Amino acid sequence: MSSAAETPAVGAEAPARSEPAHGWRLFTIWLVLALAADLLIWFFLYPHLPPGRMSSSATHQQFDIAVLIITATPVIVAVVLYFVYAIVVWRARPGDDSDGPPIYGHTGVQATWIIGTSAIVLWLFVFGTVELIGPAGAGAGEGPSPIWKLAGHQTATWTPGSNDMLQVQVIGQQWTWSYRYPQFGGFETTQLMLPIDTPITFHVTSLDVIHSFWAYQLGVKADANPAVDNVAYTTAKQMGSFVVRCSELCGIWHGAMFDYGQVVPQSAFAAWAHAVQAKEQSDGLLAALPPFALTYDPTVIPQLGKALVNVVGVTGAPGYYYGPANPVTP
């Protein structure tokens, strides 16, 4: 590495010392520290990282975050190590008023820097691309016609045990979420129920302002925009409840716009869905709802809301229901 001052500095009491191989020394210390830090992260931090492993997309996201931390940590270790090493080893000794040697470039350091940073950037590019394609969009909203589609059959009905994709429409409005299941007569509910181990297609839309459907533990986040069908995919891998939040400031009660979804066994889901469908059929709600569509025209909400209150005693503000001109006259 750099040699000591060629001429002894005036007043320097120590004779010119031979410099140790700082580069190799730094590299060895860095290697040990970086390896130790990455191993600790992999075994102790990774399993606890958000958003957990409740779905295919969540599992991928947890893995992605772990890999990014493991990529970044050696860089952070290198920076901090260099600072500490420089302060300890290269600090001015008492009484040493000499200048450091003038250095004009160092091919080895420059080449290492360029190769190292290029390798990191290329690795992140490849890794990011693979992880985006693998889980078919990584749980993000991809617009009305996604490039990547989750494995599974697009079918008009859904049966347990099949590889059929379950279609779930997510409808945001100030300030609640509702859900429609087009493979079960298009019934609407405020309960988000999902079968386990089933590829799911969310169709996210809004009736008024912009919202964002964020099923935290599922690792799904998709903008809910009026007149837009925003598609997001996932497959639930663990039973239990998850949080749904609105993730886009949408008015005064935005903070209260959350509820909980459930992942249940496939047979339990089918039983629930058939029961809700039958109930909404018998009480007239299914007939009164607008036909299932990927987006809805919110201008007819008030009329339809009034009609539904009369039909099935639905309470709440006018405008809870919506749809294209499809007035119900009680």
Binding site for Cu ion (CB under 5 A): 211, 246, 250, 257
Q: Which is nearer to Cu ion, 150 or 257 (CB)?
A: 257
At its nearest, how many Å lie between Cu ion and the CB of residue 251?
7
Q: Coil, helix or strand for 79?
A: helix
d(CA 317, CA 173): 12
CA distances from 151 to 53, 104, 204, 283 (A): 19, 57, 19, 36
Q: Which is nearer to Cu ion, 220 or 246 (CB)?
A: 246
Q: Which is nearer to Cu ion, 136 or 171 (CB)?
A: 171
CB 260, CB 241: distance < 8 Å = yes
d(CA 57, CA 234): 6
Q: Terminus-to-terminus CA distance in the chain, angstroms?
A: 90
Q: Which is nearer to Cu ion, 138 or 171 (CB)?
A: 171
As a whole number of Å, the CA-based R_g of the chain is: 30
Q: Which is nearer to Cu ion, 77 or 207 (CB)?
A: 207
Asked if the bond preceding 51 is cis, omega within 30° of 0, the reply is yes
CA distances from 46 to 60, 239, 243 (A): 12, 21, 21
CA distances from 163 to 158, 196, 198, 199 (A): 9, 12, 7, 8
Among 223, 168, 178, which residue's Cα sits nearest to residue 199? Answer: 168
d(CA 195, CA 205): 21
Q: Which is nearer to Cu ion, 196 or 246 (CB)?
A: 246
- Write the single-letter amino acid at 65: I
Q: Which is nearer to Cu ion, 77 or 246 (CB)?
A: 246
